[in-house]
Structure 1
């Protein structure tokens, strides 16, 4: 099929090499295997597609793997699944926050054969390690992304070299970029030579190090790290932005915004862990500030955060002190929580405070009726355009099923339509009036909800855009809806789980029951 078979160039990406090979053989479209799935062209292909590429283009397996993002972020042999961290999405749009694949004009200008490097796909790379200049992530002429996806290559008409913009056909090698500020050292040369930065002796491999760097970078973007950013901005990195609220991950920032974040994160990891601990403690950073991103951090990072940033203040407070502080805070904020009072008093736990601001862990039927009214009002006021109303009805149905079946939100999200229907039919024998009314409502929502077909051929719950539905997202939305309820009620949908069923005994309760000889 391919008479001219080009060898991969040093550090070239898989998409660049495949497109060059196609152009050399007279193809103006991205060369794909028949029935090959359109996914990120720099990810490791499926085994059948790898065999086709090897046979058609005469490339060794090891050389092919080194051109993929999977090889550099993790391990190509394990075939990383799903979206991987640090990889910049090719599907960039007109949003000023989002960016696309990067390039260095000077590299393209000096190349005998211009090509794209796999390093330009990673968010932790912000400058060219050869020329020391900031990379560009959009065409300076038309402001569009410079490297289309594989599906766009299939739609292209007309021959176009790889170093030309696919939108305005400008020669990208003719542009200029700004010089990298400061003496920041990129981590890419070390990773490319299979080495790790000397400052992280605890990291066992490059994936381990990049995970830690990603967690620090994510933390620097969070609202709760404002004091830490202020300290870094005043002393070391004045380019750090005041906030990054419009972006959720480091990969979504454009290269100019991302550059100081990566620099600051790399600087914090140097001389590990002394510099990181010193700056974090001076900024008031504690373990809980990392939230849900801490569990994905490597063990060496979690250990330091747990040991050095877990602060507990043990100080006795009187009943009068606790009462006065609660009244003072509630005078300005009626929704003051126990955590707000603890922070104001400078304590971690207090038995007095627990008694004064105790929370109910079990809802009443009145609470359940209030939640039903909130959902009913939402179904009437939510606009019908797109899938907004369908999403509300889906969450309403999941909430009702959790109450009726006594299951967690995560368990309900895993149920298929057939399974939900059979369980509802089994619950018909109940005589409780409220239970039967909720059961009837669940039947109606079951018929109205547009069920999605799963890969295994069954119909089940899906997200707004057809992806797998995550239970924690449904749980968080329902928690927000519980705001009008009694403030003493625990803010979790689990408070409704055992309204119509008996809560199972825990291990401690079972042991106590066995010890006391209670048979009931």
Structure 2
């Protein structure tokens, strides 16, 4: 299956096959391969990993992030697949192009979809294209379907899905049992994930996705005439996303005016339902944000400076201590920002007010998300 960018070649054959006698397919992610291996052997994925690692509960964590060296060597010895190929089927190899330094294994990884794991139960984190699965001779899940900037299938193209179209459950192939015929079965309602209508995609979100893939591949991205490292490019994109989410609250008319000058469709800019981190949002909300981020990137630096200057924005509008302005556009922003007039803060009397309707709905959505994993 062709893609805009191949993440790893897989392996056509397995040398000296052991208890995992199936090859790793091109761009296949680790959890998909282990699940297919278990179903091929006629056992649950939980049973297979229990044999491989008796004292390690593999499915209670995000195994797609990567395995330590010892477990990787063990897996290579029982599968006949080179450790380098197995390592390429994990997300850590991609993350190095997105952030600097080592990630916190206990935290949400930037630009990697969060699973929302509690024991073996999950809230999301895995997407799929029903047409890809339908056309596969041997259906499997791709590593790019775990990337938060992927909201479209570049091959067909169509928007990716992140839940069962019939029951609304998250995609959890690791919860399948030995009696399930294939990896394309929904673990919750047992329907075939391929039997669904594909959704239309956002062309701008697809353009951002392709640009992000190129940036990861070449470790270099473009913003107008500026050549940025891949880490700088993703940091800049995250900054633009922060501005969009801040503007979507509708509290800053100046910020909305700036985005309007950049060609962003502010009439379609809506606050996310839960207000959660980007990596926890559903595909529809991520697509909306990435569409607008791409529109800002396309406006380039000179137009961005003009928009900032004409909107008379204060310094706090584009960055603060927690979310500083990226170094690559810091000079541009400071040249156009209104320094503002600073007054001595007076002690205010805090008057408790009723929460807004939007705040209540956001709290309710978060509560539903939190309790969903504990009731399933």
* Alpha-carbon separation, structure 1, partners of 2:219 and 2:225: 11
The residue matched to 1:51 in structure 2 has which SS?
Answer: helix
What do the CA deviations read for 1:74-130 (whole angstroms, capped 9, x no partner)? 26997533331122122389xxxx754211111111111111111111221111111
| Per-residue deviation, 1:258 | 1.6
Q: Which residue of 2 aligns with 1:243?
A: 271
Are residues 39 and 158 of structure 1, via their aligned partners in 2, closer, same or farther at CA, if it must alter by over 3 Å? same
Greater alpha carbon shift after TM alignment, 3-12 vs 53-62: 3-12
* Alpha-carbon separation, structure 2, partners of 1:10 and 1:77: 27
* Alpha-carbon separation, structure 2, partners of 1:73 and 1:178: 28
- Per chain length, whose mean CA-contact separation is higher, i.e. which structure has more relative contact order (CA < 8 Å, sep 6+)? 2
Are residues 28 and 68 of structure 1, via their aligned partners in 2, closer, same or farther at CA, if it must alter by over 3 Å? same
- 1:213 aligns with one of 231, 237, 260: 237
Greater alpha carbon shift after TM alignment, 282-291 vs 251-260: 282-291
- 1:122 aligns with one of 136, 141, 147: 147
* Pair 1:21 & 2:37 matched: yes
Paired residues for 1:138-287 under 5 Å: 138-147=163-172, 152=175, 156=177, 158-182=179-203, 184-185=206-207, 186-187=209-210, 188-191=212-215, 193-194=217-218, 196-199=220-223, 202=226, 204-222=228-246, 223=249, 227-229=254-256, 232=259, 235-237=263-265, 240-244=268-272, 246-270=274-298, 272-287=300-315
Contact 2:240–2:293 under 8 Å retained in 1 = yes
Q: RMSD of aligned C-alpha atoms?
A: 3.3
What do the CA deviations read for 1:276-303 (whole angstroms, capped 9, x no partner)? 33344444444312234434x6531444
- 2:134 aligns with one of 88, 109, 112: 109
| Per-residue deviation, 1:166 | 0.9
What do the CA deviations read for 1:359-399 (whole angstroms, capped 9, x no partner)? 7xxxxxxxxxxxxxxxxxxxxxxxxxxxxxxxxxxxxxxxx
What do the CA deviations read for 1:330-366 (whole angstroms, capped 9, x no partner)? xxxxxxxxxxxxxxxxx423xxx54xx677xxxxxxx
Q: Which residue of 2 aligns with 1:311?
A: 338
Are residues 121 and 275 of structure 1, via their aligned partners in 2, closer, same or farther at CA, if it must alter by over 3 Å? farther
The residue matched to 2:56 in structure 1 has which SS?
Answer: coil
The residue matched to 1:278 in structure 2 has which SS?
Answer: helix
Q: Which residue of 2 aligns with 1:480?
A: none
Alignment gaps of 5+ in structure 2:
1-16, 348-376
The higher radius of gyration belongs to 1
What do the CA deviations read for 1:242-296 (whole angstroms, capped 9, x no partner)? 323631322232111221211111221235422433344444444312234434x
Q: Which residue of 1 aligns with 2:341?
A: 348
Are residues 35 and 165 of structure 1, via their aligned partners in 2, closer, same or farther at CA, if it must alter by over 3 Å? same
* Pair 1:7 & 2:36 matched: no
The residue matched to 1:165 in structure 2 has which SS?
Answer: coil
The residue matched to 2:268 in structure 1 has which SS?
Answer: coil
Contact 2:111–2:279 under 8 Å retained in 1 = yes
If the length of structure 2 is used for normalisation, what is the TM-score?
A: 0.71
Contact 2:258–2:308 under 8 Å retained in 1 = no
Are residues 301 and 46 of structure 1, via their aligned partners in 2, closer, same or farther at CA, if it must alter by over 3 Å? farther
* Alpha-carbon separation, structure 1, partners of 2:322 and 2:293: 15
Contact 1:226–1:242 under 8 Å retained in 2 = no
What do the CA deviations read for 1:51-93 (whole angstroms, capped 9, x no partner)? 2112122222332222222211226997533331122122389
* Alpha-carbon separation, structure 1, partners of 2:264 and 2:101: 39
- 2:62 aligns with one of 18, 40, 44: 40
* Alpha-carbon separation, structure 2, partners of 1:280 and 1:92: 41
Are residues 36 and 274 of structure 1, via their aligned partners in 2, closer, same or farther at CA, if it must alter by over 3 Å? farther
Contact 1:228–1:279 under 8 Å retained in 2 = no
What do the CA deviations read for 1:216-267 (whole angstroms, capped 9, x no partner)? 2133112466654576579543673332363132223211122121111122
- Paired residues, what number? 310
The residue matched to 2:73 in structure 1 has which SS?
Answer: helix
| Per-residue deviation, 1:18 | 1.9
The residue matched to 1:247 in structure 2 has which SS?
Answer: coil
Contact 1:65–1:71 under 8 Å retained in 2 = yes
* Alpha-carbon separation, structure 1, partners of 2:188 and 2:289: 30
If the length of structure 1 is used for normalisation, what is the TM-score?
A: 0.53
Contact 1:11–1:119 under 8 Å retained in 2 = yes
Contact 1:218–1:250 under 8 Å retained in 2 = no
What do the CA deviations read for 1:151-191 (whole angstroms, capped 9, x no partner)? x56xx563342111111111111212222244541235424
Contact 2:202–2:287 under 8 Å retained in 1 = no
Contact 1:44–1:79 under 8 Å retained in 2 = no
